[in-house]
Amino acid sequence: MLVTGDSLGAWLTRGVFFSLRLLVLLIALAWTLWWSLGAILEWPASEPVAADAVVVLGEDPGHRYLRGKELLLAGYAKTLVLILPLPHVLQDANGHLPGVTIHIDRTADSTWTEAQIMRRWMEANGVRHVLVVSDPQHMLRVSYSWWSVFRGSGLRYTLVAAPQANWSAWHWWENEAVAIGVGMEVLKLVYYVGRFRFGFGE
């Protein structure tokens, strides 16, 4: 096949335009992912519903507990599970939640083991449905962990986000501390999938 200078030039021009369109598309996709990353991390969170217990995940300075306390006082459940609670949280729970049964776990060391411990606790105590309270940016990793651990069990959980003063799902990058937290969540999620789904690093 004879290739003339005109046809070669047209082919090169088409190739350049295709590459430019692909580059623009990739930039647009990257920008959309960056802009919506906070909302993606928060996406699994739901509105609370009636359940058997409220579970407040660990590493909580108090705002997760306050959300759990609101749920209990509003009548969503009558049992509270505190994972690795700080002393002031435990003191408030014991003094300001009359009629609420409090269970404490001090053995969990990760979001994954929290899910494992709670599955065993639910099975042992006949608990069928819990509300799980954690940070908005934590929700996707919690969802992955609990889904992986709970699938096939018949047990139910609903993820509820605890409000944070500086958190914005659509403007997360405007606060340095929040942006660092979002970056850490992405790295942790990648680690969880790599380790617990594919066995890397075991």
Give 124-150 pLDDT, tens digit per residue: 999 999 999 999 999 999 999 999 999
Virtual torsion, Cα 25, 31, 34, 37, nearest 10 deg = -60
The C-alpha atoms of residue 160 and residue 139 are separated, in whole angstroms, by 8
The C-alpha atoms of residue 196 and residue 146 are separated, in whole angstroms, by 12
Structure-model confidence comparison of residues 20 and 54, the more confident one = 54
Q: Tens of pLDDT along 77-130?
A: 999 999 999 999 999 999 999 999 999 999 999 999 999 999 999 999 999 999
Q: Decide: 37 and 182 in contact? Cβ < 8 Å.
A: yes
Q: Decide: 149 and 115 in contact? Cβ < 8 Å.
A: yes
Virtual torsion, Cα 7, 13, 16, 18, nearest 10 deg = -80
Coarse DSSP helix, strand, coil percentages of the chain, rounded to the nearest 5 percent: 55, 15, 30
Domains and CATH numbers, the chain: 42-197 (3.40.50.620)
Of the pLDDT bands very low, low, confident and very high (cuts 50, 70, 90), residue 6 is low
Of the pLDDT bands very low, low, confident and very high (cuts 50, 70, 90), residue 197 is confident
On the question of pLDDT at 2 being above 50, the answer is no
pTM > 0.95: yes or no: no
Q: What are the tokens at 146?
A: 């609990």
Of the pLDDT bands very low, low, confident and very high (cuts 50, 70, 90), residue 196 is confident
* Total count of residues recorded for the chain: 202
